[in-house]
Amino acid sequence: MCEKCAEGFYGDVNKNGCKPCPCPEKSKNFAQGCTVDGNGAVQCICKNGYKGYLCDECSEGFFGNPLSNNGTCEPCQCNEKGIYNHGCDSRTGQCFCKEGILGLRCNICNNERHYLDGSSCKICDNCTLSLLDHTDKISHILEVSFKNVDLSGIPAPWLMLDSFDIRANALYEKYTTFNDAKDGIESFNTITLQKMELLSEQEH
């Protein structure tokens, strides 16, 4: 039964109906519910992740700007093993990383060829280091090789494809025109034959 207002609305169902809570605005509602007294004073009950008199701030563990266009509060999602303190910057979502650890979520080691193991960064094993060395060498060889290749004399393939497309469209238009004319002639011949047969019958 529709006996009470839905989440984010207030009022009396049987009297003036339900209205959206102005928390912080009627068109942007971050409240579970609210009350509005006779003087228009609002008391908001904020959804999880929001706080403030009008639910216009992010609570601890969330970040964002609820007052901006399409703004909401999102959970921090920090890497627990890479932080020294819970929560994050209330606007940017930057977690509080331990020394030597980077990234928005504190999940990247500052030093190259290191990985986050538990709560600290460790250097990669010899097998991984060897693989990374070979990858760097191959990347360097490819970079140098392509610098010495002159690609200016090679026409762009899409130019030829574009030319084919234009010619194909022109041929299709000619085919359509021819086909329409053919259908018209066949229709004309059919009508003419019918008239000739009718005249022949009348003469006899």
d(CA 23, CA 25): 5
Q: What is the pLDDT, as a whole number, of residue 13? A: 84
Q: Where are the domains of the chain?
A: 9-73, 83-144
pLDDT < 70 regions, the chain:
1-2, 146-160, 175, 179, 181-184, 186-204
What's the pTM? 0.57
- Report the CATH number of the 9-73 domain: 2.10.25
Question: Coil, helix or strand for 61?
Answer: coil
